[in-house]
A and B are shown apart, each in its own frame.
Chain A
Amino acid sequence: MSRLGISDLSVRLGDKRVLDNITAQFRTGEVTTIIGPNGAGKSTLLTCLAGLRKPDSGVVQFDGVDIASIPARARAQRLGYLPQIAEVAWGIDVRTLVGLGRIPFTSARGLAAEDQRAVDDALEQSNITAFAARNVTSLSGGERARALLARVLAGKPQWILADEPFAGLDPAHQLDTAALFRTLAREGRGVVVTLHDLHTALRMSDRVLVLGEGHILADGTPAEALAPEILTRAYGLETRFWDGATGPLIEIVGRRA
Protein backbone atom coordinates (compact mmCIF):
# COMPACT_ATOMS: atom_id res chain seq x y z
CA MET A 1 0.00 0.00 0.00
CA SER A 2 1.17 3.47 -0.83
CA ARG A 3 0.40 6.56 1.21
CA LEU A 4 0.24 10.27 0.54
CA GLY A 5 0.26 12.34 3.67
CA ILE A 6 0.08 16.02 4.43
CA SER A 7 1.03 17.41 7.77
CA ASP A 8 0.55 20.95 9.08
CA LEU A 9 0.15 22.14 5.51
CA SER A 10 -0.36 25.87 4.95
CA VAL A 11 -0.59 27.73 1.66
CA ARG A 12 -1.08 31.43 1.11
CA LEU A 13 -2.21 32.99 -2.14
CA GLY A 14 -1.64 36.71 -1.83
CA ASP A 15 -3.12 37.75 1.51
CA LYS A 16 -5.42 34.77 1.75
CA ARG A 17 -4.63 31.63 3.70
CA VAL A 18 -6.02 29.07 1.30
CA LEU A 19 -4.97 26.10 3.40
CA ASP A 20 -4.49 26.62 7.10
CA ASN A 21 -2.44 24.03 8.95
CA ILE A 22 -4.18 20.92 7.72
CA THR A 23 -3.18 17.30 8.26
CA ALA A 24 -4.56 14.25 6.46
CA GLN A 25 -3.60 10.84 5.07
CA PHE A 26 -4.56 9.30 1.72
CA ARG A 27 -4.25 5.60 0.92
CA THR A 28 -4.22 3.51 -2.21
CA GLY A 29 -7.15 1.15 -2.61
CA GLU A 30 -9.55 3.97 -1.79
CA VAL A 31 -11.47 6.62 -3.64
CA THR A 32 -11.13 9.81 -1.63
CA THR A 33 -13.30 12.75 -2.56
CA ILE A 34 -12.52 16.31 -1.57
CA ILE A 35 -15.54 18.56 -1.46
CA GLY A 36 -16.11 22.09 -0.27
CA PRO A 37 -17.45 25.43 -1.50
CA ASN A 38 -15.73 27.49 -4.21
CA GLY A 39 -12.48 28.88 -2.90
CA ALA A 40 -12.21 26.32 -0.10
CA GLY A 41 -8.74 25.24 -1.24
CA LYS A 42 -9.59 21.94 -2.99
CA SER A 43 -7.52 22.56 -6.11
CA THR A 44 -4.65 23.98 -4.08
CA LEU A 45 -4.63 20.86 -1.91
CA LEU A 46 -4.57 18.67 -5.01
CA THR A 47 -1.64 20.55 -6.57
CA CYS A 48 0.25 20.17 -3.28
CA LEU A 49 -0.47 16.43 -3.25
CA ALA A 50 0.75 16.21 -6.85
CA GLY A 51 4.02 17.85 -5.79
CA LEU A 52 3.39 20.82 -8.08
CA ARG A 53 3.12 23.49 -5.43
CA LYS A 54 5.51 24.13 -2.61
CA PRO A 55 3.52 24.76 0.58
CA ASP A 56 4.41 27.81 2.68
CA SER A 57 4.78 25.51 5.64
CA GLY A 58 4.30 21.84 6.35
CA VAL A 59 5.18 18.87 4.15
CA VAL A 60 3.64 16.48 1.70
CA GLN A 61 4.99 12.97 2.22
CA PHE A 62 4.89 10.25 -0.38
CA ASP A 63 5.45 6.90 1.35
CA GLY A 64 7.26 8.72 4.11
CA VAL A 65 9.51 10.78 1.83
CA ASP A 66 9.16 14.53 1.32
CA ILE A 67 7.62 14.80 -2.13
CA ALA A 68 9.82 17.79 -2.99
CA SER A 69 12.88 15.55 -2.76
CA ILE A 70 11.60 13.01 -5.32
CA PRO A 71 13.01 13.57 -8.84
CA ALA A 72 10.37 15.00 -11.18
CA ARG A 73 10.35 12.07 -13.58
CA ALA A 74 10.08 9.42 -10.86
CA ARG A 75 7.24 11.39 -9.28
CA ALA A 76 5.48 11.74 -12.64
CA GLN A 77 5.64 7.99 -13.22
CA ARG A 78 3.68 7.32 -10.03
CA LEU A 79 1.38 10.34 -9.66
CA GLY A 80 -1.05 11.21 -12.43
CA TYR A 81 -2.56 14.67 -12.18
CA LEU A 82 -5.57 15.96 -14.11
CA PRO A 83 -5.87 19.76 -13.93
CA GLN A 84 -9.24 21.43 -13.72
CA ILE A 85 -8.71 23.55 -16.83
CA ALA A 86 -9.13 21.36 -19.91
CA GLU A 87 -6.34 22.93 -21.92
CA VAL A 88 -5.20 21.45 -25.22
CA ALA A 89 -3.22 24.11 -27.03
CA TRP A 90 -2.87 22.44 -30.43
CA GLY A 91 -5.21 20.66 -32.78
CA ILE A 92 -3.75 17.18 -32.31
CA ASP A 93 -5.67 13.93 -32.67
CA VAL A 94 -7.04 12.16 -29.59
CA ARG A 95 -4.53 9.31 -29.79
CA THR A 96 -1.60 11.76 -29.83
CA LEU A 97 -3.18 13.62 -26.91
CA VAL A 98 -3.54 10.44 -24.85
CA GLY A 99 0.03 9.52 -25.83
CA LEU A 100 1.27 12.65 -24.02
CA GLY A 101 0.52 10.74 -20.81
CA ARG A 102 3.49 8.49 -21.64
CA ILE A 103 5.99 11.38 -21.50
CA PRO A 104 7.39 10.33 -18.08
CA PHE A 105 8.33 6.98 -19.62
CA THR A 106 9.57 7.94 -23.06
CA SER A 107 12.86 9.15 -24.46
CA ALA A 108 13.23 11.58 -27.34
CA ARG A 109 12.61 8.67 -29.72
CA GLY A 110 8.89 8.68 -28.99
CA LEU A 111 6.42 5.95 -28.08
CA ALA A 112 7.60 2.33 -27.91
CA ALA A 113 5.30 -0.67 -28.38
CA GLU A 114 4.66 -0.81 -24.64
CA ASP A 115 3.63 2.85 -24.65
CA GLN A 116 1.26 2.23 -27.55
CA ARG A 117 -0.37 -0.60 -25.59
CA ALA A 118 -0.83 1.67 -22.57
CA VAL A 119 -2.46 4.27 -24.85
CA ASP A 120 -4.81 1.60 -26.25
CA ASP A 121 -5.78 0.55 -22.71
CA ALA A 122 -6.41 4.13 -21.66
CA LEU A 123 -8.59 4.81 -24.73
CA GLU A 124 -10.53 1.67 -23.86
CA GLN A 125 -10.95 2.59 -20.18
CA SER A 126 -12.23 6.04 -21.04
CA ASN A 127 -14.45 4.53 -23.73
CA ILE A 128 -13.10 6.81 -26.45
CA THR A 129 -11.47 4.29 -28.78
CA ALA A 130 -14.14 5.17 -31.35
CA PHE A 131 -12.85 8.71 -31.74
CA ALA A 132 -9.14 8.10 -31.27
CA ALA A 133 -8.38 9.46 -34.74
CA ARG A 134 -10.47 12.61 -34.37
CA ASN A 135 -8.92 16.01 -33.86
CA VAL A 136 -9.41 17.44 -30.35
CA THR A 137 -10.75 20.66 -31.86
CA SER A 138 -13.77 18.70 -33.11
CA LEU A 139 -14.65 17.23 -29.68
CA SER A 140 -17.41 18.42 -27.37
CA GLY A 141 -16.47 19.58 -23.85
CA GLY A 142 -17.43 16.23 -22.32
CA GLU A 143 -15.57 14.21 -24.96
CA ARG A 144 -12.51 16.33 -24.42
CA ALA A 145 -12.75 15.79 -20.63
CA ARG A 146 -12.79 12.00 -21.20
CA ALA A 147 -9.80 12.25 -23.56
CA LEU A 148 -7.88 14.23 -20.95
CA LEU A 149 -8.70 11.64 -18.28
CA ALA A 150 -7.45 8.96 -20.66
CA ARG A 151 -4.22 10.95 -20.97
CA VAL A 152 -3.71 10.55 -17.19
CA LEU A 153 -4.63 6.84 -17.30
CA ALA A 154 -2.12 6.23 -20.11
CA GLY A 155 0.68 6.71 -17.58
CA LYS A 156 -0.80 3.83 -15.51
CA PRO A 157 -0.08 5.86 -12.38
CA GLN A 158 -0.30 4.39 -8.92
CA TRP A 159 -2.14 7.55 -7.89
CA ILE A 160 -4.75 9.48 -9.82
CA LEU A 161 -5.31 13.03 -8.62
CA ALA A 162 -8.16 14.52 -10.61
CA ASP A 163 -9.48 18.06 -10.25
CA GLU A 164 -13.19 18.03 -11.12
CA PRO A 165 -13.09 15.12 -13.55
CA PHE A 166 -16.90 15.13 -13.80
CA ALA A 167 -17.21 18.69 -15.10
CA GLY A 168 -18.92 18.69 -18.48
CA LEU A 169 -19.83 14.98 -18.45
CA ASP A 170 -23.39 13.86 -19.17
CA PRO A 171 -25.08 11.72 -16.43
CA ALA A 172 -24.31 8.44 -18.21
CA HIS A 173 -20.63 9.25 -18.54
CA GLN A 174 -20.53 10.53 -14.95
CA LEU A 175 -21.74 7.10 -13.92
CA ASP A 176 -19.12 5.39 -16.13
CA THR A 177 -16.33 7.57 -14.78
CA ALA A 178 -17.37 6.95 -11.16
CA ALA A 179 -17.38 3.20 -11.86
CA LEU A 180 -13.93 3.52 -13.48
CA PHE A 181 -12.55 5.24 -10.36
CA ARG A 182 -14.02 2.46 -8.18
CA THR A 183 -12.37 -0.16 -10.40
CA LEU A 184 -9.02 1.63 -10.27
CA ALA A 185 -9.20 1.75 -6.47
CA ARG A 186 -10.11 -1.93 -6.33
CA GLU A 187 -7.02 -2.65 -8.44
CA GLY A 188 -5.02 -1.09 -5.63
CA ARG A 189 -4.53 2.42 -6.96
CA GLY A 190 -5.14 5.61 -5.06
CA VAL A 191 -7.83 7.92 -6.40
CA VAL A 192 -8.25 11.45 -5.06
CA VAL A 193 -10.82 13.65 -6.79
CA THR A 194 -12.40 17.01 -6.15
CA LEU A 195 -16.00 17.51 -7.14
CA HIS A 196 -19.16 19.48 -6.40
CA ASP A 197 -21.89 16.89 -6.77
CA LEU A 198 -22.73 15.67 -3.27
CA HIS A 199 -24.49 12.69 -4.69
CA THR A 200 -21.54 11.39 -6.65
CA ALA A 201 -19.39 11.97 -3.57
CA LEU A 202 -21.80 9.92 -1.46
CA ARG A 203 -22.06 7.01 -3.90
CA MET A 204 -18.52 6.80 -5.25
CA SER A 205 -16.24 7.50 -2.29
CA ASP A 206 -14.67 5.34 0.34
CA ARG A 207 -13.76 8.48 2.13
CA VAL A 208 -14.80 12.13 1.95
CA LEU A 209 -12.77 15.13 3.03
CA VAL A 210 -14.75 18.33 3.50
CA LEU A 211 -12.80 21.58 3.19
CA GLY A 212 -14.08 24.96 4.29
CA GLU A 213 -12.07 28.16 4.36
CA GLY A 214 -8.78 26.33 4.42
CA HIS A 215 -9.71 23.96 7.25
CA ILE A 216 -10.77 20.33 7.27
CA LEU A 217 -14.38 20.32 8.45
CA ALA A 218 -14.76 16.56 8.22
CA ASP A 219 -12.74 13.53 7.21
CA GLY A 220 -14.44 10.17 7.27
CA THR A 221 -16.86 7.78 5.58
CA PRO A 222 -19.29 9.44 3.16
CA ALA A 223 -22.13 9.07 5.65
CA GLU A 224 -20.12 10.75 8.43
CA ALA A 225 -18.55 13.51 6.35
CA LEU A 226 -21.69 14.41 4.42
CA ALA A 227 -23.87 14.60 7.53
CA PRO A 228 -26.34 17.53 7.51
CA GLU A 229 -24.58 19.52 10.24
CA ILE A 230 -21.28 19.39 8.33
CA LEU A 231 -22.86 20.44 5.04
CA THR A 232 -24.49 23.31 6.91
CA ARG A 233 -21.10 24.43 8.19
CA ALA A 234 -19.44 24.01 4.79
CA TYR A 235 -22.07 25.46 2.47
CA GLY A 236 -24.74 27.05 4.69
CA LEU A 237 -27.19 24.50 3.26
CA GLU A 238 -29.95 22.55 4.89
CA THR A 239 -29.85 18.91 3.75
CA ARG A 240 -31.53 15.62 4.56
CA PHE A 241 -30.62 11.94 4.03
CA TRP A 242 -33.16 9.67 2.37
CA ASP A 243 -33.11 5.95 1.82
CA GLY A 244 -33.43 5.57 -1.94
CA ALA A 245 -34.21 2.29 -3.67
CA THR A 246 -30.57 1.93 -4.80
CA GLY A 247 -28.86 3.52 -1.81
CA PRO A 248 -28.81 6.72 0.23
CA LEU A 249 -29.80 10.06 -1.28
CA ILE A 250 -29.03 13.60 -0.19
CA GLU A 251 -31.84 16.06 -0.57
CA ILE A 252 -30.89 19.73 -0.62
CA VAL A 253 -33.71 21.46 1.17
CA GLY A 254 -32.43 24.99 0.71
CA ARG A 255 -30.12 27.62 2.11
CA ARG A 256 -29.96 28.08 5.83
CA ALA A 257 -31.20 31.54 6.65
Chain B
Amino acid sequence: MNMSVPKLFLLLFGALVLLFLASLSAGKIWIPWSAWFAAVNDPQWIIVFDLRLPRTILALAVGAALGMSGAALQGYTRNALADPGIMGVSSMAAFGAVMTMYLGTASAMPWVLPTGAMAGALIGIAVLLSLSGAISSVLTFILAGVILNTVASAGVALALNLAPTPWAVNEIINWLMGSVADRSRNEVAFALPFIAIGCTLIATTGRALDALTLGDAAARSLGIRMERTRLALALGIGLATGASVAVTGMIGFVGLITPHLLRPLIGARPGALLVPSAFAGAVLVLAADIIVRLIPSPAELKLGVAMAALGGPFFLLMLIDMRRRAA
Protein backbone atom coordinates (compact mmCIF):
# COMPACT_ATOMS: atom_id res chain seq x y z
CA MET B 1 0.00 0.00 0.00
CA ASN B 2 1.75 3.13 -1.16
CA MET B 3 -1.01 5.66 -1.19
CA SER B 4 -3.70 6.78 1.21
CA VAL B 5 -7.25 6.48 -0.07
CA PRO B 6 -8.04 10.25 0.20
CA LYS B 7 -4.90 11.00 -1.82
CA LEU B 8 -5.95 8.53 -4.50
CA PHE B 9 -9.40 10.09 -4.68
CA LEU B 10 -7.88 13.53 -5.02
CA LEU B 11 -5.68 12.30 -7.85
CA LEU B 12 -8.53 10.54 -9.66
CA PHE B 13 -10.84 13.49 -9.19
CA GLY B 14 -8.22 15.87 -10.57
CA ALA B 15 -7.71 13.60 -13.57
CA LEU B 16 -11.48 13.45 -14.12
CA VAL B 17 -11.82 17.25 -14.16
CA LEU B 18 -8.90 17.69 -16.56
CA LEU B 19 -10.11 14.92 -18.86
CA PHE B 20 -13.64 16.31 -18.77
CA LEU B 21 -12.44 19.71 -19.94
CA ALA B 22 -10.15 18.16 -22.53
CA SER B 23 -12.94 15.91 -23.78
CA LEU B 24 -15.19 18.86 -24.57
CA SER B 25 -12.43 20.43 -26.67
CA ALA B 26 -10.66 17.50 -28.27
CA GLY B 27 -11.59 15.84 -31.53
CA LYS B 28 -11.34 16.25 -35.29
CA ILE B 29 -12.18 19.89 -34.66
CA TRP B 30 -10.63 21.56 -31.62
CA ILE B 31 -13.11 23.76 -29.87
CA PRO B 32 -11.81 26.58 -27.69
CA TRP B 33 -13.40 26.90 -24.27
CA SER B 34 -14.80 30.30 -25.29
CA ALA B 35 -17.36 28.40 -27.37
CA TRP B 36 -19.12 27.40 -24.14
CA PHE B 37 -20.44 30.90 -23.90
CA ALA B 38 -21.28 31.24 -27.58
CA ALA B 39 -24.80 31.62 -28.89
CA VAL B 40 -26.96 28.50 -28.71
CA ASN B 41 -27.14 28.15 -32.50
CA ASP B 42 -23.39 28.64 -32.99
CA PRO B 43 -21.97 25.44 -34.57
CA GLN B 44 -19.18 25.32 -32.00
CA TRP B 45 -21.71 25.47 -29.18
CA ILE B 46 -23.63 22.65 -30.84
CA ILE B 47 -20.50 20.51 -31.11
CA VAL B 48 -19.69 21.01 -27.43
CA PHE B 49 -23.13 20.63 -25.91
CA ASP B 50 -24.96 18.33 -28.34
CA LEU B 51 -22.12 16.07 -29.39
CA ARG B 52 -19.23 16.12 -26.95
CA LEU B 53 -21.03 16.67 -23.66
CA PRO B 54 -23.29 13.58 -23.98
CA ARG B 55 -20.31 11.59 -25.22
CA THR B 56 -18.18 12.69 -22.29
CA ILE B 57 -20.85 11.98 -19.69
CA LEU B 58 -21.49 8.56 -21.21
CA ALA B 59 -17.79 7.70 -21.22
CA LEU B 60 -17.59 8.63 -17.53
CA ALA B 61 -20.74 6.75 -16.54
CA VAL B 62 -19.95 3.65 -18.56
CA GLY B 63 -16.36 3.60 -17.29
CA ALA B 64 -17.59 3.87 -13.71
CA ALA B 65 -20.19 1.14 -14.23
CA LEU B 66 -17.76 -1.28 -15.86
CA GLY B 67 -14.91 -0.55 -13.42
CA MET B 68 -17.12 -1.08 -10.40
CA SER B 69 -18.79 -4.18 -11.87
CA GLY B 70 -15.36 -5.67 -12.50
CA ALA B 71 -14.18 -4.95 -8.96
CA ALA B 72 -17.38 -6.50 -7.54
CA LEU B 73 -17.16 -9.61 -9.71
CA GLN B 74 -13.51 -10.09 -8.82
CA GLY B 75 -14.33 -9.71 -5.14
CA TYR B 76 -17.20 -12.13 -5.31
CA THR B 77 -15.36 -14.79 -7.33
CA ARG B 78 -12.13 -14.16 -5.42
CA ASN B 79 -10.43 -14.13 -8.77
CA ALA B 80 -8.51 -11.26 -10.30
CA LEU B 81 -9.39 -12.39 -13.84
CA ALA B 82 -13.15 -11.91 -13.50
CA ASP B 83 -14.80 -9.13 -15.49
CA PRO B 84 -18.31 -8.57 -16.88
CA GLY B 85 -16.90 -9.11 -20.37
CA ILE B 86 -15.01 -12.30 -19.62
CA MET B 87 -17.85 -13.69 -17.49
CA GLY B 88 -20.31 -13.30 -20.36
CA VAL B 89 -22.53 -10.60 -18.81
CA SER B 90 -21.68 -8.05 -21.51
CA SER B 91 -22.07 -10.66 -24.25
CA MET B 92 -25.49 -11.58 -22.93
CA ALA B 93 -26.44 -7.89 -22.97
CA ALA B 94 -25.16 -7.63 -26.53
CA PHE B 95 -27.08 -10.76 -27.46
CA GLY B 96 -30.27 -9.24 -26.05
CA ALA B 97 -29.70 -6.03 -28.02
CA VAL B 98 -28.77 -7.84 -31.23
CA MET B 99 -31.95 -9.92 -31.01
CA THR B 100 -34.03 -6.72 -31.06
CA MET B 101 -32.09 -5.52 -34.12
CA TYR B 102 -32.42 -8.87 -35.85
CA LEU B 103 -36.14 -9.00 -35.24
CA GLY B 104 -36.38 -5.48 -36.61
CA THR B 105 -38.09 -4.17 -33.48
CA ALA B 106 -35.16 -1.98 -32.49
CA SER B 107 -35.87 0.67 -35.10
CA ALA B 108 -39.60 0.73 -34.29
CA MET B 109 -39.23 2.22 -30.83
CA PRO B 110 -36.11 3.66 -29.22
CA TRP B 111 -36.54 1.87 -25.90
CA VAL B 112 -36.62 -1.65 -27.39
CA LEU B 113 -32.89 -2.13 -27.93
CA PRO B 114 -31.77 -0.92 -24.49
CA THR B 115 -34.47 -3.03 -22.86
CA GLY B 116 -33.23 -6.06 -24.77
CA ALA B 117 -29.68 -5.38 -23.60
CA MET B 118 -30.72 -4.95 -19.98
CA ALA B 119 -32.79 -8.11 -20.06
CA GLY B 120 -29.83 -10.02 -21.54
CA ALA B 121 -27.44 -8.73 -18.88
CA LEU B 122 -29.81 -9.51 -16.02
CA ILE B 123 -30.45 -13.02 -17.31
CA GLY B 124 -26.72 -13.55 -17.75
CA ILE B 125 -25.71 -12.44 -14.28
CA ALA B 126 -28.65 -14.28 -12.70
CA VAL B 127 -27.60 -17.54 -14.36
CA LEU B 128 -24.01 -16.95 -13.30
CA LEU B 129 -24.73 -16.18 -9.66
CA SER B 130 -27.33 -18.90 -9.26
CA LEU B 131 -24.84 -21.40 -10.63
CA SER B 132 -22.31 -20.15 -8.12
CA GLY B 133 -24.87 -20.72 -5.37
CA ALA B 134 -25.36 -24.35 -6.31
CA ILE B 135 -21.67 -25.07 -6.91
CA SER B 136 -19.53 -22.65 -4.98
CA SER B 137 -16.17 -23.38 -6.57
CA VAL B 138 -14.50 -20.49 -8.34
CA LEU B 139 -13.47 -22.76 -11.18
CA THR B 140 -17.06 -23.77 -11.99
CA PHE B 141 -18.09 -20.14 -11.72
CA ILE B 142 -15.53 -19.08 -14.30
CA LEU B 143 -16.41 -22.04 -16.50
CA ALA B 144 -20.04 -20.96 -16.25
CA GLY B 145 -18.93 -17.52 -17.44
CA VAL B 146 -17.08 -19.02 -20.37
CA ILE B 147 -20.14 -21.08 -21.30
CA LEU B 148 -22.38 -18.03 -21.04
CA ASN B 149 -19.97 -16.08 -23.21
CA THR B 150 -19.91 -18.86 -25.80
CA VAL B 151 -23.68 -19.20 -25.90
CA ALA B 152 -24.17 -15.44 -26.23
CA SER B 153 -21.52 -15.15 -28.95
CA ALA B 154 -23.09 -18.05 -30.82
CA GLY B 155 -26.46 -16.31 -30.58
CA VAL B 156 -24.98 -13.10 -31.97
CA ALA B 157 -23.27 -15.04 -34.77
CA LEU B 158 -26.53 -16.79 -35.57
CA ALA B 159 -28.35 -13.47 -35.76
CA LEU B 160 -25.67 -12.20 -38.15
CA ASN B 161 -25.86 -15.39 -40.18
CA LEU B 162 -29.62 -15.23 -40.57
CA ALA B 163 -29.85 -11.44 -40.83
CA PRO B 164 -32.53 -10.46 -43.37
CA THR B 165 -30.54 -7.70 -45.08
CA PRO B 166 -26.87 -6.71 -45.44
CA TRP B 167 -27.94 -3.45 -43.86
CA ALA B 168 -28.97 -5.27 -40.71
CA VAL B 169 -25.60 -7.07 -40.60
CA ASN B 170 -23.84 -3.74 -40.92
CA GLU B 171 -25.94 -2.20 -38.19
CA ILE B 172 -25.30 -5.08 -35.79
CA ILE B 173 -21.54 -5.18 -36.40
CA ASN B 174 -21.21 -1.45 -36.06
CA TRP B 175 -23.09 -1.48 -32.81
CA LEU B 176 -21.18 -4.47 -31.41
CA MET B 177 -17.82 -2.74 -31.75
CA GLY B 178 -18.68 -0.38 -28.92
CA SER B 179 -18.43 3.37 -28.97
CA VAL B 180 -19.62 6.49 -27.17
CA ALA B 181 -19.52 8.59 -30.35
CA ASP B 182 -22.66 10.29 -31.70
CA ARG B 183 -24.77 9.54 -28.67
CA SER B 184 -27.58 11.90 -27.81
CA ARG B 185 -28.92 13.23 -24.54
CA ASN B 186 -31.67 10.62 -24.78
CA GLU B 187 -29.14 7.84 -24.40
CA VAL B 188 -27.53 9.62 -21.47
CA ALA B 189 -30.94 10.07 -19.86
CA PHE B 190 -31.71 6.40 -20.37
CA ALA B 191 -28.44 4.97 -19.06
CA LEU B 192 -27.61 7.24 -16.13
CA PRO B 193 -30.41 6.24 -13.74
CA PHE B 194 -29.81 2.51 -14.24
CA ILE B 195 -26.06 2.92 -13.86
CA ALA B 196 -26.60 5.00 -10.71
CA ILE B 197 -28.96 2.42 -9.19
CA GLY B 198 -26.66 -0.42 -10.23
CA CYS B 199 -23.56 1.18 -8.73
CA THR B 200 -25.41 2.02 -5.51
CA LEU B 201 -26.50 -1.61 -5.17
CA ILE B 202 -22.97 -2.83 -5.79
CA ALA B 203 -21.64 -0.37 -3.21
CA THR B 204 -23.82 -1.99 -0.52
CA THR B 205 -21.94 -5.28 -0.89
CA GLY B 206 -18.54 -3.96 0.26
CA ARG B 207 -18.54 -5.63 3.67
CA ALA B 208 -19.78 -8.90 2.20
CA LEU B 209 -16.99 -8.90 -0.39
CA ASP B 210 -14.45 -8.17 2.35
CA ALA B 211 -15.76 -11.10 4.38
CA LEU B 212 -15.67 -13.39 1.34
CA THR B 213 -11.89 -12.97 1.32
CA LEU B 214 -11.98 -15.66 4.03
CA GLY B 215 -14.20 -18.01 2.03
CA ASP B 216 -17.91 -18.67 1.98
CA ALA B 217 -18.28 -20.34 5.40
CA ALA B 218 -16.21 -17.74 7.25
CA ALA B 219 -18.13 -14.95 5.52
CA ARG B 220 -21.44 -16.41 6.65
CA SER B 221 -20.06 -16.85 10.18
CA LEU B 222 -19.33 -13.10 10.14
CA GLY B 223 -23.04 -12.47 9.69
CA ILE B 224 -23.06 -11.97 5.92
CA ARG B 225 -26.31 -13.04 4.28
CA MET B 226 -25.19 -14.63 1.09
CA GLU B 227 -28.58 -14.68 -0.68
CA ARG B 228 -28.93 -10.95 -0.13
CA THR B 229 -25.39 -10.30 -1.32
CA ARG B 230 -25.98 -12.35 -4.45
CA LEU B 231 -29.23 -10.55 -5.20
CA ALA B 232 -27.66 -7.10 -4.74
CA LEU B 233 -24.73 -8.07 -6.95
CA ALA B 234 -26.90 -9.64 -9.63
CA LEU B 235 -29.19 -6.62 -9.86
CA GLY B 236 -26.35 -4.14 -9.46
CA ILE B 237 -23.99 -5.65 -12.02
CA GLY B 238 -26.89 -6.53 -14.33
CA LEU B 239 -28.27 -2.96 -14.32
CA ALA B 240 -24.90 -1.18 -14.49
CA THR B 241 -23.38 -3.41 -17.18
CA GLY B 242 -26.67 -3.84 -19.03
CA ALA B 243 -27.32 -0.11 -19.25
CA SER B 244 -23.73 0.48 -20.36
CA VAL B 245 -23.85 -2.09 -23.14
CA ALA B 246 -27.31 -0.85 -24.10
CA VAL B 247 -26.05 2.59 -25.03
CA THR B 248 -22.45 1.93 -26.06
CA GLY B 249 -22.20 -1.66 -27.26
CA MET B 250 -19.31 -3.84 -26.12
CA ILE B 251 -16.44 -2.10 -24.35
CA GLY B 252 -14.32 -4.79 -22.78
CA PHE B 253 -11.48 -5.10 -20.29
CA VAL B 254 -12.34 -1.99 -18.23
CA GLY B 255 -13.58 -4.14 -15.37
CA LEU B 256 -10.55 -6.39 -15.61
CA ILE B 257 -7.87 -3.72 -15.75
CA THR B 258 -9.18 -1.12 -13.30
CA PRO B 259 -9.09 -3.04 -9.99
CA HIS B 260 -5.78 -4.55 -11.00
CA LEU B 261 -4.21 -1.11 -11.40
CA LEU B 262 -5.57 0.02 -8.03
CA ARG B 263 -4.50 -2.93 -5.87
CA PRO B 264 -0.81 -1.98 -5.67
CA LEU B 265 -1.83 1.56 -4.70
CA ILE B 266 -4.48 1.09 -2.00
CA GLY B 267 -4.37 -2.60 -1.12
CA ALA B 268 -6.43 -5.59 -2.17
CA ARG B 269 -9.36 -5.48 0.29
CA PRO B 270 -12.27 -5.91 -2.16
CA GLY B 271 -14.72 -3.58 -0.41
CA ALA B 272 -12.16 -0.77 -0.43
CA LEU B 273 -11.69 -1.16 -4.20
CA LEU B 274 -15.32 -0.66 -5.26
CA VAL B 275 -15.67 3.13 -5.31
CA PRO B 276 -12.09 3.84 -6.43
CA SER B 277 -12.68 1.37 -9.29
CA ALA B 278 -15.68 3.41 -10.40
CA PHE B 279 -13.56 6.58 -10.49
CA ALA B 280 -10.58 4.90 -12.13
CA GLY B 281 -12.82 3.16 -14.68
CA ALA B 282 -14.30 6.54 -15.61
CA VAL B 283 -10.80 8.02 -16.02
CA LEU B 284 -9.69 5.06 -18.11
CA VAL B 285 -12.64 5.08 -20.54
CA LEU B 286 -12.70 8.85 -20.97
CA ALA B 287 -8.93 8.97 -21.57
CA ALA B 288 -9.22 6.13 -24.10
CA ASP B 289 -12.09 7.89 -25.85
CA ILE B 290 -10.10 11.11 -26.17
CA ILE B 291 -7.14 9.19 -27.61
CA VAL B 292 -9.44 7.39 -30.05
CA ARG B 293 -10.69 10.74 -31.33
CA LEU B 294 -7.19 12.04 -31.86
CA ILE B 295 -5.79 9.07 -33.78
CA PRO B 296 -5.66 10.13 -37.43
CA SER B 297 -7.66 7.62 -39.47
CA PRO B 298 -10.23 7.76 -42.29
CA ALA B 299 -13.01 6.51 -40.01
CA GLU B 300 -12.86 7.10 -36.26
CA LEU B 301 -11.48 4.12 -34.37
CA LYS B 302 -14.18 2.48 -32.23
CA LEU B 303 -13.60 2.70 -28.49
CA GLY B 304 -14.45 -0.98 -27.99
CA VAL B 305 -11.85 -1.96 -30.57
CA ALA B 306 -9.23 0.24 -28.93
CA MET B 307 -9.95 -1.20 -25.47
CA ALA B 308 -9.71 -4.72 -26.84
CA ALA B 309 -6.38 -3.87 -28.48
CA LEU B 310 -5.13 -2.60 -25.11
CA GLY B 311 -6.82 -5.29 -23.05
CA GLY B 312 -5.39 -8.33 -24.83
CA PRO B 313 -1.74 -7.52 -24.13
CA PHE B 314 -2.66 -6.38 -20.62
CA PHE B 315 -4.30 -9.73 -19.93
CA LEU B 316 -1.15 -11.44 -21.14
CA LEU B 317 1.05 -9.31 -18.85
CA MET B 318 -1.21 -10.19 -15.93
CA LEU B 319 -0.89 -13.88 -16.64
CA ILE B 320 2.90 -13.63 -16.91
CA ASP B 321 2.98 -11.72 -13.63
CA MET B 322 0.78 -14.32 -11.91
CA ARG B 323 2.97 -17.13 -13.19
CA ARG B 324 6.09 -15.39 -11.97
CA ARG B 325 4.54 -14.96 -8.53
CA ALA B 326 3.42 -18.57 -8.39
CA ALA B 327 6.90 -19.80 -9.33
Chain A residues close to B by CB (< 8 Å): 47, 50-52, 72-77, 79-83, 85, 87-93, 96-97, 100-101, 103-104, 106, 108, 148, 151, 155
Contacts and interface: CB of A to CB of B under 8 A. Distances in A.
Given A88-B214, A89-B212, A100-B210, A81 B269 contact: no
Given A100-B211, A103-B210, A151-B214, A50 B1 contact: no
A215 B287 CA distance: 65
Interface in B126-180: none
Given A90-B268, A93-B267, A100-B214, A72 B1 contact: no
Contacts, number: 77
Nearest to A151: B214
20 contacts: A51-B221, A52-B221, A72-B225, A77-B223, A81-B221, A83-B214, A83-B215, A88-B213, A89-B78, A89-B212, A89-B214, A90-B270, A92-B213, A96-B267, A100-B213, A104-B222, A108-B203, A108-B206, A108-B207, A148-B214
Interface in B168-221: 203-204, 206-207, 210-215, 217-218, 220-221
Contacts of A101: 222
Contacts of B206: 108
B213 A90 contact: yes
Contacts of B268: 90-92
Interface of B: 1, 78, 203-204, 206-207, 210-215, 217-218, 220-225, 263, 267-270
A89 B213 contact: yes
A239 B243 CA distance: 68
A90 to B, nearest CB: 4
A92 B206 CA distance: 15
A148 B217 CA distance: 14
Contacts of B203: 108
Contact of B1 (A47, A77, A79, A93): A93
Contact of B220 (A72, A88, A97, A106): A72
Contacts of B269: 90, 92, 96
Given A90-B269, A108-B206, A79 B221 contact: yes
A103 to B, nearest CB: 4
A97 B263 CA distance: 15
Given A90-B78, A92-B269, A93-B267, A75 B223 contact: yes
A148 B213 CA distance: 12
A204 B269 CA distance: 36
Contacts of A151: 214
Top 3 closest pairs, chain A to chain B, by CB: A76-B223, A89-B78, A81-B221
B210 A50 contact: no
Interface centre among A83, A97, A151 (most CB of B within 10 A): A83
B223 to A, nearest CB: 3
